Structure 1
Amino acid sequence: MLEELAQAEAAVAGCLGASAWALAEHDLVAALDAAHRLEQRLAAVKLALVRELDGRGSATAQGASSTAVWLRERLHLGVGVARRMVELAATLDAAPAGVRDALAAGSVDVEQVRVIAATVETVHSAAGTEVADKAVGVLVDWAAQFDATQLRRLGTRILDHVAPDVADAAAEAALRADESRATRDRHVTISEQTDGRLRLTGILDPEAATLLRTAIDPLSAPTGPDDTRTSGQRRHDALAEVCRLALRGGELPDHGGDPTQLAVTTSYDGLTRQLGTGALDTGLQLTPEAVRRLACDAAILPAVLGGSGQTLDVGRQRRLVTGPLRRALVLRDQGCAFPGCDRPPRWCDAHHIRHWADGGATSLDNAVLLCGHHHRHLHHSDWSVRLGGDGHPEFVPPTWLDPDRLPRRNQYHRRT
C-alpha cells in the first residue's frame, strides 16, 4: 500500500506541474471529473486507515485521549473535523458493501456516503436486509444526479420506490431516527481567540434552530437606510441583544442572571483624564469606550491604582440602575428614548448621561433607556443626551447632521 500511495502521490505531483491552460475545454472537464473521482477514492483509503487505527487503539496507545484528538494533532485538523472523520470511518465500515464500493469507485463523495449510510440503516430497521440492499442501489444511482442535501430529501421517501407497502410506517420511523441523530449531533463549540473574541461553531437541532431564528430574526433586520452593517453583523448584534435580555430577565440559574461584572483596573491619572483603558478579570484589555458602554448597565468593581501600581481604592460592587429605579426609568421613557426608535424597555440598557467614572450619580435624572444599537451609537458618535426642562430625555444631533443642533425627542413612546 505504501508503494502504491507513493506512486499515486508522484503522479499527482506530475499533474500539478502540467499546464491546464493548454488543455481543450472537453479535456479540461474530463480532467476535473478524473480528479474528483481520485479524491473520493483517496477518501475511501483514508477512512479505511482511520478505521483500522481506531480499532487497534493506536491513538490511546500513543497517549492521546481519543483517535479524533490524535488525528487533530497528527494531521493538524480541527477537532470537529477529526471527530466526524472517525465517525464516518465507523459508519462506512458498518455500511453495506455497495456503499463502500461506490466510494471506492469514486461515484459518490463522502457526504453522499454519510446520507446513504444513514438512510440505509433506517430502511434496514423498517424493512429488512433485502430491501436495504435494494435501497443502496437506488441511492447510489441517485447520487450520480443529486448532491447530498437533495439526496437526503429524496431518501426520506426511498421506501416508496423499494417497499411501498411499509413506506408510511417507515417514514415515521425515519422521522424519529432523524430526531435521534439531531439530538446526538447537537453541539456548540466556543473557541477563544487571542484578542478576546470568541468563535462560535456548532449544529443546532431543529427545535433549538427554530428558537434561535424566532429570537434573532426580528432583531436582524436593518434599522433604517443608514444601517451599513452586513447581514452577519446584524445577526451578531441580534444574538448579543438576546443574551442581554436573558441576563436582564432574572430567570437564569444562580450566578447567571446578573449583568456583566467588570473589574476595571486603571491608573488614577488615567481615570481622571478619562484616558485609561479597562482590564477585565479575564485579563482582556478594553478601550475606555467599551468599558464605559458595558459599565452602564453592569455591576462594577472599580480598582484605582496609583503611579506605582498601588491600589488606592477598591469600590464596592454596586448594581446600578435596577429595582425601583429601573421601574421608574421605564415608566418615564417607555422604551428606547432615542428619536424614532420603537424598541421596548426589555430590550434596553440603562445609560448614564454623566458616566459614573466622571462622578455621575445613579439616579433618575442621570439615566436614560437605550436599545443596544443606539447605546453603541451614542458611545461612538457626536450625539449627546440630556434631560429637558420637563425631566424627559432629549438628544442633540451632531453639527454635520443639524448645524443648529436642535434637540430631538422620541415621539414613538409618547402617551399624550
Structure 2
Amino acid sequence: MCHSELLQHKLPATRAALTRGDISYRHVEVIIDNVLALPDEAWQDFEREALTESETLTVPQFTKKAIRIRELTHPESITVRHKRALADRCFFVGPGRDGMAYLEMTLSNEDASAIRDRVEAMAKNLQSADEPRTLPQLRTDAAVDLLLRGVTETGLGAGIRGNVYVTVPVLTLMGKSEESGTLEGFGPIDPETARRIAGTASSFTRILIHPETGAVLSFGRTKYKVPTELRRWLQLRDGSCRAAGCNRRAQDCDIDHTIPWESGGETVFSNLANLCKRSHRVKHETGWAVEQSKDGTLNWTSPAGKHYATHPATRIRPTIPTTEPATKPKTWLDPWSIPNTGSTQHRSNDHDERDERDERSTSSRTDAIGENQLN
C-alpha cells in the first residue's frame, strides 16, 4: 500500500518508467528505499538523477548509484547524519531454515570495509589445491573463528566462551532415534549435530529429556537445585519473555514470581517465569493479571478483560517424587464405534468393558514410565 501510494502521488516519473518497462520493480524498490531517507523537498531532485540512464543498470549497479545520489541530494550534512546514525549501531542474530541462522550488524562504513577486507584476505590465504571449501564458505568460517575465539586489542574476550543450550531426546543421544534436538533461541537442529554438541563440546550444558513424558533425566551433572540452576532451567523452558507478544531472550529477562512473594508465592518452578523488565513492571504496576498452569502456560488477563496465553518454548519439566496414587484418566468413547443394537443395556456394558481395558492399559503404561525414570 505504501509503495502504491508513493508511485501514484509522489513518484510519477518512477511509475512512468516502470509502466514503459525501462526499469523493473526491484529498481522501484531501491528508489523508494532511498527517498524515504530524504526530506520531502529532496525527492524530486533524487528521482530525476536516479532515473537518468537507469535502464542500462542492473539492480546492484543501480543500488550503488542511488546511494551516491541520495548522499549528494540530502540537504543535511553527512557528518551530522553519520554521528546520529552511529548511535543506532546494532547486532542481531536470528534463526533461519534447516538449522541455519542469520547474523546481522549495522555499523559504520569504514569498520564494515575493514572487516570485509580482513575476512577476504584470510579466506584467500586458506585457499589451496587440497582445500575443498569454496571461497564463500571460507569467508564464513574465517569470520566465525574470529568471533568465537578472537580477542580485542584491549584483551576483551580472552577466556570468554559462548554458552549454548541444547535439548536432546535421550533416544536421539543413544542413536536409537532421529528426532531432532532443540537449540535454545533458534529451534530444531539435526540429530547428528545434537549428538556432537552433547557428547564432545565442553562449553555446552547438556540437557536430556524423556521423549514421551518430557521429564528431565539429566542436567549435565547430578546436583541439587540451587537458584542458579533453577534460573538456567527456567531459561531453557521459557526461551523468551513470557509476556504476550514479547520475544526478548530469557537470558536477558528477570525471574518473576507469578504469585508475588509478598502474597505467599513460593520460589518453585511452577510459580516462576521469565519476564523482561518492561513486562515485569507492567505485571506488577498495572491492571494485568497472570495465572500459571501446571504445564507452564501463563494465562494473561488485560485490564479490558481480554485473555492471552503464552506457552513455554520447550516441554521439559522436572521429575517430582510423589506418593499420591495415579488418577484414572478420562476416557472418551466414540459413539460411532458402538454397534446400534437398539439395547441400552448392551451399550452400557460395552462402555464398562472398554473403561476396564483402558484402565488396565493406562496402569501398565504408567508403571513402565515410572520404572524408566527410576532406572
TM superposition score normalised by structure 1: 0.35
Return the structure number with greater helix share.
1
TM superposition score normalised by structure 2: 0.38
